Structure 1
Amino acid sequence: MSLVTETAAESTAVPEDEPRRAWPAVFALARFEARDLLRYIPVLATLLLYVGYTAWTLFHPQDGMEAFPALQDADRATQNGPLLLGIALFVCVNRCTLRSRRRGTDRQFDVMVMEPWRRTVAHVLSVVPFAAVTALVVLGEFTRQALRPGAVGHGSLAELAVGPLYVLLCGAFGVLLARLVPSTFAAPVGVVGLFVLGVFVSAGTSGAQWTRWLSPIVDETSRNTVLPTDLVGRPAAWHALYLTGLILLLALCAVLASGGRTPLLKAGAAGALALTVTGAMGQSGGVSPELAAARERVSVSPERVQSCVRLDGSTYCAFPEWTGRTGDWAGAVDRVRSLAGGTAARQPLVVRQRVEARYGLDGDAAIEPLTTPHQVTVGTRWGGNRVPEFAVAVAYVLVAGDESKGGELCDGRVVTTMWLAVGGDAHPMTALANVRLDDSVTGDAGVLAPTSGLSMTAGQTDVVRELLRRPRGEVTASVKRHWSELTAPGVSTAQVARVLGVEVPKEANDCAEE
């Protein structure tokens, strides 16, 4: 009996060079597990959806504001794409890790040369190919945006790394959960629990900067504001370090839970914990005094950091990253000024780029209108609706004199202003709808502009709509001929309609008559 035992012990003894020879087997198992993950419908479906949709957006023609991307926002836009893929990997990697337990083959694995902790390493490594695919998609998506003719700004490698790191994080967490809670129901419950926890943390600690950055993906993007790259102020590098440390920590904890007790693994786990804590502390600092002062300076005194150029008599002042866009602004100014009469047709303007940066990326505060005569505000976004909105600002500066008086226009001068703003557009009726809050060309509505907008009554809308239906040259000649009457303070909408030969609308009331 003792001879049989000794013989069995000798047959299962691990050779001295076995640790070195075991790693090729670990990598081979990782390749097998990666291929096996593709057999799971959630992983395959979300991967195809992610890659396919991104590829469609890359080769689909972009127009409007999408044709003028800001790269300091485009890098963050790559982070939400892998969300579903990460969740699918979390659930399916967890299920793969529990395969031997579900099928009752743990005993067979116990007599194999490869230790359980090495199999855990293989499961963690099986997610790496999916992270690599995510990295390629992210790189392609950002590169396509950077190559667009209207692109401005600079991206961040740390922001671009968040998507692939998120995929790795989901995989490592799925393996760890399988080792700690060996049940197939743990992963679905974990997804729901993490979602509820995320909502609770966001709702309960909305003002705490450090808690927001504990989430893998921190989204803070305003629909109206694009900040210069050096004013973004996101701790992207610290966050990437935090995610890297967290991935290593979860993976090594899973290995330790599987029986790996070597000093190297324990030291690695301690180092990963230190890396995670360092990243978490670094990203929790909030807005530095230097950044707050820079944002204040750009918001209050943009001329101190801008460069200006003269085009066709007007001056265009832009932040350094937007200097290449002054030609687009000049084209919009020329279209508006070409429809004006009197001195307005030759009036030099100062177009100044302005942004409200004091509230960060989430700030949507309105920009105060300029009181200096013949100065016009242009924002940091361009394309789409921003073009006719800028044209509205140019038009009411030509009509009223300065931006601060634009909000006071509610008489017949609104008709003249709106004709100047959209009359020279290639699709004037569409431009009219785009600058109105209700996206219509009938009835009362507010009109958008970079600073203060206008208000159009139903009668004024009817007159403008009728003017846009007539030949552009005919209306332009009439506006130039009667410019003094059309821009006189207090002129009524009915008077403007009669001067321009348009039927006076039934509802011609405006502020001058109320």
Structure 2
Amino acid sequence: MSLMTETTAEPAAVHEDDPRRAWAAVFALARFEARDLLRYIPVLVTLLLYVGYTAWTLFHQQDGMDAFPALQDVDRGTQTGPLLLGIALFVCVNRCTLRSRKRGTDRQFDVLVMEPWRRTVAHVLSVVPFAAVTALVVLGEFTRQALRAGAVGHGSLAELAVGPLYVLLCGAFGVLLARLVPSTFAAPVGVVGLFVLSVFLTAGTSDAEWSRWLSPIVGEAAGNTVLPSDLVGRPAAWHALYLTGVILLLALVAILASGGRTLSLKAGAAGALALTLAGAVGQSGGVSPELAAAREQVTVSPQRDQSCVRHGGSTYCAFPEWTGRAGAWADVVDRVQSLAGGTAARQPLLVRQRVEARYGLSGDSAIEPLTTPHQVTVGTRWGGNRVPEFAVGVAYVLVAGDESKGGELCDGRVVTAMWLALGGDAHPMADLANVRIDDSVTGSASVLAPTSGLSMTAGQTDVVRELLSRPRGEVTASVKRHWAELTRSGVSTDRVARVLGTEAPKGEQDCAQE
């Protein structure tokens, strides 16, 4: 009896008289549990996949549009990587928390100096190293993109925090589920339930914008819109606050369910609930009138927010984050103009950056063409297909006079415009396929441009393809020599082909002959 009295009295002395030793034991157990989590194949495999794949993308040569990242989009791109790791941790932390119950060792734990609620704290803390690794990977991923020569914009620290917070959230929820439903079957069912819940939450429409922000990771509908950083309009800081509150609330409820009944724990749970509610309310506000007005102004009157520089004889106007890209635009303009004849070869152009911002990040509406002569639109995305598409826009402005007439080009001038756009490129046939919607180099197709594109008939495609296969200097000389005729409104494709010395298309009429 005396031995039993001594054994039961010792924990109280340790916990009350030496709390530092008690918490040292908690941290030691947390380290053990973290190492033990690495023994679980789902955690180890998903962690290696996440770190390995991210490292491969960082050091793998990226080209096209990937070489010109917008950092206000890159920060959101770091959030999907930890998804599988979080799910694996949710299941495995749940199993670790239930280990003593499954193996029937709860009775032995009852005589230890560490109370059950402190063991719960240790299980929650065991996820912290994985969140720290996630944070390092996210930071490395973003830093690598920010250091690219073509990077523009500004990232959000709150957006970058979502990945690590998601990992912590999964771990805390796994521990809570183990304390509330002490069954190994609860975790797989919980994964399915969370998936269904996330689908339901993210299915919210614009009338229920608040619902999708209850999900841990909030993506955007697929779109090609890249907005200036100050027009993104995502409540990232409020969402990070909301996730922090949820994590604390789940962890503290799990601790309370394990027998922790101190006043500080109850007050902490109440504070976590208040933090969660504050974040939820703050992130549900939607687009403010001020942001909507700013997006309207950028769309309708972009010149108010832009600065302009001169390269050669042309002027380039861009939003503040894109001013360094004017040189790349100028290279395309100079290349296209070098193939033109008449006054077009020396015509000063005004290249203005434009974006349709009124519909937010998920908007994918076409930009209306400019009616002002000799003005060309360039978008906020660059690299890859955007380069030849911009060249097409420059070409038909030189041929037709302004962007609004580009969609009306259906005669032989299409051949002239496409030669200007592609003739000076290092890989003209590849770019011919890239600017056509069906990625073909034969038959009829629509051609993409920053605003209204062109329509090519099968005969015009054949003529352009033959021109691109001939020596560049020879074709350029013919184009310059016959410039007036090649750009005359109504000139037929047959006539353009004969003037440039190619085989005329047979059995086909363009709009000038219909």
Q: TM-score, normalised by structure 2?
A: 0.98
1:203 shift after superposition: 3.0
Closer, same or farther in 2 for the Cα pair 1:204/1:57, shift >3 Å?
closer
The aligned counterpart of 2:325 is 325
1:267-297 Cα distance to aligned partner (Å, 9 max, x none): 1101111111111111111111111111111
- Determine if contact 2:220/2:362 at 8 Å carries over to the other structure: yes
- 1:508 is displaced (CA, Å) by 3.4
Aligned-residue offset at 1:65: 0.7
**Map of 1:478 onto structure 2:** 478
**Alpha-carbon contact 1:65-1:384 (below 8 Å) kept:** yes
Q: Please list every run of 5 or more consecutive structure 2 residues that lacks an aligned counterpart in the other structure.
A: none
Q: Which moved more, 1:201-210 or 1:143-152?
A: 201-210
Cα deviation digits, residues 441-473 of structure 1 (max 9, x gap): 011111000100111111110100000000000
More moved, 206-215 vs 409-418: 206-215
- Within 5 A, what are the aligned runs for 1:91-170? 91-170=91-170
Listed as ranges, the matches of 1:68-107 within 5 Å are 68-107=68-107
Aligned equivalents of 1:473 and 1:225: distance in 2?
38
2:216 paired residue number: 216
Cα distance in structure 2, aligned partners of 1:493 and 1:369: 25
Query: Aligned partners of 1:201, 1:135: CA distance in 2, in Å?
Result: 26
Correspondence 1:408 to 2:408:
yes
Identity of aligned residues (%): 85
Partners of 1:130 and 1:6 lie apart in 2 by: 41
**Contact kept? 1:447, 1:454, Cα under 8 Å:** yes
CA change 1:21–1:239 in 2 (3 A) is same
d(CA) in 2 for partners of 1:21 and 1:274? 32
Q: Equivalents in 2 of 1:209, 1:51: separation in Å?
A: 33
| Alignment match, 2:488 | 488
Q: Which runs of 4+ in 1 moved over 4 A?
A: 2-13
Give, in whole Å, the separation in 1 of the partners of 2:9 and 2:268: 32
Partner residue in 1 for 2:396: 396
The match for 2:202 is 202
The question of 1:290 aligning with 2:290 is answered: yes
- 1:386-441 CA distances to partner (integer Å, 9 max, x unpaired)? 00000000000000000000000011111101000111111000111100001110
1-side partners of 2:48 and 2:7: how far apart?
49
Tell me the alpha carbon deviations over residues 143-190 of structure 1, each in whole angstroms, 9 at most, x when there is no partner. Answer: 001100111111111111010000000000010011011111111111
Secondary structure in structure 2 of the residue aligned to 1:218: coil
Match of 2:240 in 1: 240
Residue equivalent to 2:358: 358
Q: Where do 1:248-287 residues align within 5 Å? A: 248-287=248-287
One-letter amino acid of the structure 2 residue matched with residue 153 of structure 1: G
Q: Counterpart of 2:13?
A: 14
Distance 1:150 1:8, change over 3 A: closer
- SS of match in other structure, 1:183: coil
The answer for the alignment partner of 1:315 in structure 2 is 315
Give the unaligned 5+ runs of structure 1: none
Secondary structure of the equivalent of 2:317?
Answer: strand
User: What are the superposed Cα offsets for residues 348-394 of structure 1, whole Å, 9 maximum, x if unpaired?
Assistant: 10000000111111111111000000000000001100000000000
Pairing of 1:364-379 with structure 2 (within 5 A): 364-379=364-379
Q: Match of 2:52, as an amino acid?
A: G
Q: Provide the rounded CA distance (Å) in 2 between the counterparts of 1:6 and 1:295.
A: 73
Aligned to 2:28: 28
Specify the code of the residue in structure 2 equivalent to 1:366: A
Q: State how far apart, in whole Å, the 1-side matches of 2:257 and 2:470 are.
A: 78
Query: Are 1:458 and 1:507, in contact at CA under 8 Å, matched by a contact in 2?
Result: no
CA distance in 2, matches of 1:12, 1:311: 78
Distance in 2 between the 1:6 and 1:279 partners? 49
What is the CA deviation profile of residues 94-113 of structure 1, one whole-angstrom value per residue up to 9, with x for unaligned ones? 11111111111111111111
Give 3-state SS (helix, strand or coil) of 2:207's partner.
coil
> Deviation per CA, 1:221-272, whole angstroms, max 9, x where unpaired?
6542110011111111111111111100000000001110000100110111
8 Å Cα contact 2:295-2:357 kept in structure 1: yes
Partner secondary structure for residue 392 of structure 2: helix
Counterpart residue number, 2:448: 448
Distance in 2 (alpha carbons) for counterparts of 1:167 and 1:8: 39
Letter in 2 for 1:226: V
- Deviation string 1:56-101 (CA, Å, 9 cap, x unpaired) is 0111111111111111111111111101110110111111111111
In structure 1, how many angstroms separate the alpha carbons of the residues matched to 2:221 and 2:136?
Answer: 24
How far 1:7 moved relative to its partner? 5.2
Quote the Cα distance in structure 2 between the aligned partners of 1:6 and 1:84. 49
Asked whether 1:301 is paired with 2:304, we answer: no
Q: Are 2:202 and 2:215, in contact at CA under 8 Å, matched by a contact in 1? A: no
State how far apart, in whole Å, the 2-side matches of 1:38 and 1:22 are.
25
Query: Residue 208 of structure 1 aligns to a residue in which SS?
Result: helix
Per the alignment, do residues 79 and 330 of structure 1 end up closer, same or farther by CA in structure 2, a change over 3 Å counting? same
Could you say if the C-alpha distance between residues 495 and 173 of structure 1 is closer, same or farther in structure 2, counting changes exceeding 3 Å?
same
Q: Distance in 1 between matches of 2:421 and 2:265?
A: 68
| Aligned 8 A contact 1:340 1:480 in 2 | yes
8 Å Cα contact 2:8/2:111 also seen in 1: no
CA pair 10-86 structure 1, distance change in 2 beyond 3 A: closer
Helix, strand or coil for the counterpart of 1:215? Answer: coil
Q: 1:260 to 1:507 in 2, by over 3 A?
A: farther
Instruction: Map residues 183-198 of structure 1 onto 2, 5 A cutoff.
Output: 183-198=183-198
Query: Structure 1: how far apart are the matches of 2:109 and 2:443?
Result: 76
| Counterparts of 1:260 and 1:182, CA distance in 2 | 17
1:177 aligns with 2:163: no
Report if aligned partners of 2:204, 2:211 keep a CA contact under 8 Å in 1.
no
Q: Evaluate the alpha carbon distance shift between residue 4 and residue 160 of structure 1 in structure 2; reply closer, same or farther with a 3 A threshold.
A: closer
**Equivalent residue letter for 1:469:** S
Tell me the TM-score normalised to structure 1 length: 0.98
The 2-side partners of 1:366 and 1:113 are apart by: 68
Shift of 1:217: 0.7
Q: Which amino acid aligns with 2:382?
A: W
- Give 1:10 deviation, angstroms: 4.3
* Cα distance in 1, alignment partners of residues 367 and 134 from structure 2: 39
Aligned residues of 1:169 and 1:243 also touching (Cα < 8 A): yes
The alpha-carbon deviation at position 505 of structure 1 amounts to: 2.2
Q: Structure 2 CA distance, aligned partners of 1:346 and 1:248?
A: 65
